[in-house]
Structure 1
Amino acid sequence: MRTLFSKCLVAPALFASTLASAEVKLPFTLDWKFEGPSAPYFLAVDNGHFADQDLSVEISAGQGSLDAIPKVATGAYPVGFADINSLVKFLDQNPGAPVTAVMMIYDKPPFAVVGRKSQGISTVADLEGSVLGAPPPDGAWAQFPVFAKENGLDMSKIKVEPVGFPTREPMLAEGKVDSVTGFSFSSYLNLVRLGVPEEDLTTLLMADYGLALYGNAIIVNTDYAEKNPEVITGFLTAVAEGVKDAAADPMAGAQAVIDRNPAGNVELEAWRLKLALQDSILTDYVMANGLGDIDVERFEKALEQIAVTYEFKGEPSVSTIFTDAYLPASELLMMK
């Protein structure tokens, strides 16, 4: 016969078991491998922010936005991280697909042209008469015609050299091209690692030169989100806390990445994280308005710019591409 004392011992164990079973498993796919900019998600794991929301989040590496978006649209992953411009085209080609963006992370996309002053590239105008290295599948190269149009560049005066991703920065370091398209925080650091002096580098962030486009966002499977709104809001709350942690201690963020990618370099990833925070995440708009939401007027202009290089099959609608319905309370999104 169990005594009252034994029942008191069993009850806490049952209570703890109930709490543990209440934790929701939520697979999350990144768009790329584990690097500095993915630190906020790993910090949200390590610092207990996901656990505080009763979530058990498993983070998987990706192979680009064109890999991450279908994973979420098919329901293989309820949540992902992908370029919203790629999502715009995906939804145009697959109308009604159950996927949408719910939290903007890269308020400024990292699309950039990185050149060398010693090879005559200091301003946008210097690109005319120069040799530009661009991988054909590169996201930044895809936006270059819009960038050129916004800045009055004559594309016929720029010699474009198709290059591979592995040879892009080495060719610039060797002086075989004068500039390259790429992500600001990746191409810049790759060139420094190759021995190009920082003072010789010019980074032309397209968002600073007329590009209205947004960058990467948290995306969700809409069928899952509609059935589990509290799970998605909890996830976004934890992500916001992870961004704050990464901003407060980039080295700790980089270490969280290296713990999952031992082949990396903690100092390099801390540097990459700082550049991503500075250029793409903690923008003036975000610091004033909070993380995660969009400016609808700007987004509508972005859709017009996408149409410069992409022929829409239908009429794009902001409401099908992005929703703020799952964002947590605004005070939780403030980064100050």
Structure 2
Amino acid sequence: MFTRILPAALASAVLAATPLAAQDTDIAFALDWRFEGPSAPYFLAIDNGYFAEQGLNVEITAGQGSLDALPKVASGAFPIGFADINSLIRFLDQNPGAPVTAVMMVYDSPPFSIVGRVSQGISGIDDLEGSILGAPPPDGAWAQFPILAEVNGIDTSTITVEPVGFPTREPMLAEGNVDSVTGFNFSSYLSLARLGVPEDDITTIMFADHGVELYGNAIVVNTDFAEANPEIVTGFLTAVAQGTAAAIADPAAGAAAVIDRNPAGDAALEERRLQLAIDGNILTDYVMENGMGGIDADRFATALEQLTLTYEFQNEQDAALYFTDAYLPEGDVLMVGGQ
């Protein structure tokens, strides 16, 4: 059973009595992963005062994978989170009525990838058959791997799947214990390089380059909270768009904001990781033309069809349950790539 964060009547009374700009509203935001380059937009939104301008005091919590934020947000423990929309779709099918939906697409092109080593025999997608694939069970890329296999006719019975933990994923590949791993393009690639694997020995197989039409990660909200606090949600998304624009304009500043929260990190590495996410996942042609946050209905319909290739829905698909643009801010704030 899922509980409300704030009763609708009380929330409405508070919003009616107090202008949003005068509020000091605490918001707990659940990330999907640890503090790395791609999380820079949220930290810049704090450091540059974008959240504060919306009357929000945001606390960001690291996550443990693409599935991690969904139960946190659905349960009401966090009103807002960051999660893989495909995992959200399955979560809602398995938990009908759970109060969670996506409200802003961030990774217009999904970061799902398989990262392998040429020296281990992985130069491209055709080399996966007969190989050893390391996959963390909660990983978003692993969750969508069956679609990649189905679309490309990969015989998965020939692949030995080795369950691995996130901390051991790249080390096992670096040590040659597996031939490739599932992961996000901006994480596994650079983490492997940091372990000393020559970059010309690393192969990145992007799902999006091989017929997978899925979207990636999005901002998700507890729907009870959002319905009761629409101005807060729109204000949050406004600040996220501003933080994203700031990260695109100055990736070095974005990386510095991350390192302020993760002093053990490498600023140059996180700047590069952020740039990979910007170029490959955030600032797509669609976003350049239409702005950040929305989705294309036809593409989303195709994505839903692809999900049925390897997942048997218990309930009828309903796109309206998975995404809404009702809380997106209006105006040029979403044009994060400039015009």
**Both proteins in one fold, TM over 0.5:** yes
Q: Which region of structure 1 is more displaced relative to structure 2, 136-145 or 288-297? A: 136-145
2:272 matched residue in structure 1: 271
Which amino acid is the alignment partner of residue 218 of structure 2? A
- The CA distance in 2 between the partners of 1:56 and 1:209, in whole Å, is 41
1:281 matched residue in structure 2: 282
1:128 matched residue in structure 2: 129
Which amino acid is the alignment partner of residue 169 of structure 1? E
- The CA distance in 1 between the partners of 2:51 and 2:136, in whole Å, is 37
Normalised by the size of structure 2, how large is the TM-score? Answer: 0.88
**SS of the residue 2:33 aligns to:** coil
Report matched runs for 1:183-202 at 5 Å. Answer: 183-202=184-203
- The CA distance in 2 between the partners of 1:135 and 1:73, in whole Å, is 23
1:154 matched residue in structure 2: 155
Larger gyration radius, structure 1 or structure 2 = 1
Q: Which region of structure 1 is more displaced relative to structure 2, 294-303 or 132-141? A: 132-141
> Structure 2, unaligned stretches of length 5 or more?
1-18
**SS of the residue 1:259 aligns to:** helix
Instruction: Answer yes or no: is the 8 Å Cα contact 1:28–1:80 preserved in 2.
Output: yes
Q: Give the C-alpha shift of residue 63 in structure 1.
A: 2.7
Q: Give the C-alpha shift of residue 330 in structure 1.
A: 4.7
2:182 matched residue in structure 1: 181
Instruction: Answer yes or no: is the 8 Å Cα contact 2:115–2:183 preserved in 1.
Output: yes
Instruction: Answer yes or no: is the 8 Å Cα contact 1:25–1:55 preserved in 2.
Output: yes
2:14 matched residue in structure 1: none
Q: 1:97 to 1:158 in 2, by over 3 A?
A: closer
1:42 matched residue in structure 2: 43
**SS of the residue 1:167 aligns to:** helix
- The CA distance in 1 between the partners of 2:108 and 2:228, in whole Å, is 28
Which amino acid is the alignment partner of residue 306 of structure 1? L
- The CA distance in 1 between the partners of 2:84 and 2:20, in whole Å, is 36
Q: Give the C-alpha shift of residue 152 in structure 1.
A: 2.1
2:107 maps to 1:106: yes
2:65 maps to 1:69: no
Normalised by the size of structure 1, how large is the TM-score? Answer: 0.89
Which amino acid is the alignment partner of residue 176 of structure 1? N
Q: Deviations over 1:54-79 (max 9, x none)?
A: 22222222233433112222222221
> Structure 1, unaligned stretches of length 5 or more?
1-17
- The CA distance in 2 between the partners of 1:245 and 1:164, in whole Å, is 33
Instruction: Answer yes or no: is the 8 Å Cα contact 2:174–2:197 preserved in 1.
Output: yes
2:52 maps to 1:51: yes
Instruction: Answer yes or no: is the 8 Å Cα contact 2:132–2:162 preserved in 1.
Output: yes
Instruction: Answer yes or no: is the 8 Å Cα contact 2:134–2:163 preserved in 1.
Output: yes
**SS of the residue 1:195 aligns to:** coil
2:292 matched residue in structure 1: 291
Q: Give the C-alpha shift of residue 171 in structure 1.
A: 2.7
How well do the aligned residues superpose, as a CA RMSD in angstroms? 1.9
Q: Give the C-alpha shift of residue 33 in structure 1.
A: 1.9
Q: Which region of structure 1 is more displaced relative to structure 2, 312-321 or 279-288? A: 279-288
2:271 maps to 1:236: no
- The CA distance in 1 between the partners of 2:172 and 2:20, in whole Å, is 56
Q: Give the C-alpha shift of residue 109 in structure 1.
A: 1.7
Q: Give the C-alpha shift of residue 120 in structure 1.
A: 3.0
Which amino acid is the alignment partner of residue 104 of structure 2? M
Instruction: Answer yes or no: is the 8 Å Cα contact 1:290–1:330 preserved in 2.
Output: no
Q: Which region of structure 1 is more displaced relative to structure 2, 262-271 or 312-321? A: 262-271
Which amino acid is the alignment partner of residue 298 of structure 2? E
Q: Which region of structure 1 is more displaced relative to structure 2, 119-128 or 264-273? A: 119-128
- The CA distance in 1 between the partners of 2:251 and 2:228, in whole Å, is 35
